[in-house]
Every structure is written in C-alpha cells, then in structure tokens.
Amino acid sequence: MSDALWGGRFEASMDALVEKFNQSIDVDQTLFYEDIEGSIAHVTMLGDCNILSHDETKQIKEGLESLKLDHQNNALTFSSKYEDIHLNIEHLLTEKIGSVAGKLHTGRSRNDQVATDMHLYTVKKVKLMIEAITKLQNSIIHIAEDNIEVIIPGYTHLQRAQPILLSHHLMSYFWMLQRDKERLEESLSRINVSPLGSGALAGTTYPINQQQTAERLNFDHIYPNSIDAVSDRDYILETMNNINLIMMHLSRLSEEIIIWCSHEFNFITLSDAYSTGSSIMPQKKNPDMAELVRGKSGTVAGNYIGMLMTLKSLPLAYNKDLQEDKKSFFDSIETCLDSLTIYSGMIDTMQINKDTISKTLEQDFSNATELADYLVSFGIPFREAHAITGKLVAECIKENIYLKDVSLERYKAIHPEINDEIYIILAPKSAVERRTNYNGTSTQSVLAQIEQGKSKLN
C-alpha cells in the first residue's frame, strides 16, 4: 500500500520521477499562513457544530498555532513526499498531536482548501498592491509640486510637439495609476469570496456552518455554487490582467526615464542607489532598474497568457492542471510589488536638470502652434495660418534659425498688424500659461489637477 495520505486505494508506491513531477511544495509553501488560517477557521466551526468534540477541536487548534510559531522560528521542514503545503501541514500536525490531526480534514477537500488559501492570499496581496500604488502616487505628487515651474518639450511620435509643464507630464502617470488602483479595489468584491465547505465539488454531508467560516476569514460572501467555487480561477486571471496594466504603465514610464537620463537628453539624473555601472566602461551610469521593470512587464504578460492557456479548455470541476495556477501568479504579484516599491524610491530621489531642460526649449519649433493660433487672431483661417507657419518653419530650418529669431519685419510681411507681442507669444512660458482649460498644461490647471490628485489619495 502507498504511504501517501491518500494512498489507501493504491497497492504500490509512486514512481520517483512521478513523485517529483507531481509535487508542488516548492511553490505552494508560500500559502503556509493562509492554510493555517483557513484550517483554524474550519476546525473551530467543526467544534461549534459538534462535528468534533471540544477536546479534539482544542488539540487541533493548539497544534496549528504551534506549527505557526515553529514556522516563524524557521523550525519546519517541508518534504516533497507529501506533495503540497496542505498534506505537509497535516503530516507535521500528526507528528505533533497524533492521529486526532486526521480529523481536521472532516467535511473538507483539498479542492476547497487550496481555493480558500488562494482567495485569502490574493486579497492580502491586492491590498498590498493598492498601498504600493498609493505610495508611488504620493511620490509623483511631491515631485510634480516641487518642480511646478519646469517646462519641457512635449512629444508626439517622439518628435517635439508643444511646450508643457513637467508636472503635467508626470501627473499623467498619476492618473494611470489611479485607474490601476480603482480596478484593484473594485476587483476585491470578486476575490473576497469563500469557497470553504464546497468539498471536492459537490459540498458535504456534514452539518457545517459555512457562514461562520466565511465571517471568521473576513470573506464578504460565499460562492452560491460548489462546482464554481473549486474550479473558479477568474479572480486570478483578473488580478494578473490588472498587474499587466500596472506593469505596462510602469514600462512606459521606464522608457521615458531611460531616454531622459541619456546624455543626449540629460533631463534627469537618477540616484546612485537606483543605478548600476559597467564592468568595462568606467564612465557608465546605467538606468538598470527602469530597464528591468520594462523587461519584467513582458514576463508578467507571458505569465498571464500562460495562465489563460492553462484554463482555456478545462472541464469542470477541479483538475490537476490548476496546480499550475500558482508559480506564475506568485511571480507576477511579487514582481509588481517590487517594481512599484523601486519606482517610489527612484522618483523620490531623481534630480531634475532644470538648466539643461531650459536650454533645450530654446532650440526647437514646439512654439509653431502658438504662431498659427496668433495668426488666427487676425482673422486668418486656421488652415491658412497652419500652412503659413509650416512654410516659415521650413525656411527657418534652411537658415538654421528658430521662430524667435525671425525679424519683426518678416512677420509684418505675413500680416501688417503683427507687433513685438509675437516674441512674448512664442516664449515657452506663454505657450504653457495660455492653456488654462480644465485639463490643460497651465500652472493654474496643473495645480488644480494636483489638488484633485491629493483628494483622491485622501
């Protein structure tokens, strides 16, 4: 007979390679505390429902609490012989309190047990991600406020477009992260659901109280259908997709950080604490953390697709394929949490090179739209003003000058009423401050936006 905890029906032991292939303890030991928490709730309910005696309940609870303390003291050793965290805990509990430990599994299957663990784990990690996003949003708010006067070239197609406030640019990431956070918050209603008591798929004949275990574990409600309860992994896919969006936003920011700290741009300087050097080129200071976040966004996207493919053709209810739901999920969550934490520190400590940015704005045509709009004020149709400005820009490029260098006489040849005001209009500061619409780039609008952001955080 097999010596596995489920081995009563088996006459021979498992092949060594099969045993290795079948085990998941190297991954799912991450769920140790959730498994203990779920087991304490379950056995407490069994005692209250008189399914177990008071003494049996007390022994099992004390044994579980003792295992928790052993784990905190690094005094537990898990074995692949017992496959997963659930059977390892049951084996360790049996060693500690004897055969009464076998009664812990009354009215419960590993199917609803692991589902309960995963729900508890996901709720905890989603809340940590929400906290990490909030911290990064605070970092963005602070740097936006501290540098409210800094104007940078805005880009479309990676070509100079129009002058904007650096704060306006940074705050766009605040709002991306706000949507990320709201998606996570809203998803909790679908994650914080109790599958405990669903058994393998059909429920149980024992007179259990599922409402009690749900309340003890702080679940909002119970799955209405026991089959759905043990086979549902939608909440994992949803969380992984939300992580994909977070990492995609961080990857976009990473790309800009990498460009901005290049020698050609030199808009920012990253702290040494968030940079690395070269083993051969002494002068190098590399934005490796931004590059790693950009790279890891691809890894978590791959994790999501892998999970989707694992689930796409599974019949109901539980299948061993679902053992594969953990490794990539745990990796995506920890990658996201680490990336958010690193970005908070990197944003907090980065230096804005204001002089370099200011000089850059003197050598482009990002004020061309200002000239076109100015010509419209003299009654020239915008399309005609656009064409006149475009032609003048082309001439300036040939002459190696900029719009601010064009003489007043040349401007008057375009329209006789143009005066010295044109040079004020063409200044980057004017281009920014004239855009006072609700979500525009003027200082007034961006400060209002920052206050709106603060209200979201509060």
Based on the residue annotation, tell me whether 278 is a catalytic residue of this protein: yes
CA distance linking residue 262 with residue 285, whole number of Å:
10
Give the helix, strand, coil percentages of the chain, each rounded to 5. 65, 5, 30
What DSSP string runs through 387-407? HHHHHHHHHHHHHT--GGGS-
DSSP string, 114-169: HHHHHHHHHHHHHHHHHHHHHHHHHHHHHHHHHTTT-EEEEEETTEEEEEEEHHHH
Output the CA torsion 63→64→65→66 (10° steps): 50
CA distance 153 to 150: 10
Q: Which DSSP string corresponds to 237-255?
A: HHHHHHHHHHHHHHHHHHH
CA–CA separation, 335 and 129 (whole Å): 11
Question: What tokens appear for 128 in the block?
Answer: 């940590």
Question: Of 115, 125, 122, 325, which is closest to residue 223 (Cα–Cα)?
Answer: 115
Among 2, 79, 278, 358, the active-site one is 278
- The number of residues in the chain equals 458
d(CA 198, CA 361): 65
Which is nearest to 77 in space by CA: 61, 91, 62? Answer: 91
In eight-state DSSP terms, residue 199 is T
Please list, residue by residue across 372-411, b when 16 or more beta carbons sit within 10 angstroms of its beta carbon and e when fewer do. bbbbeeeebeeeebbebbeebeeebeeeeebbeebeeeeb
CA distance 300 to 115: 22
C-alpha closest to that of 24 among 88, 107, 104: 88
Closest CA to 293 of 254, 260, 332, 331: 254
For 216, half-sphere exposure in the C-beta direction (CA atoms, 13 angstrom radius) is 19
Looking at 157, 279, 407, 455, which residue is catalytic?
157
What are the residue numbers of the active site? 157, 278
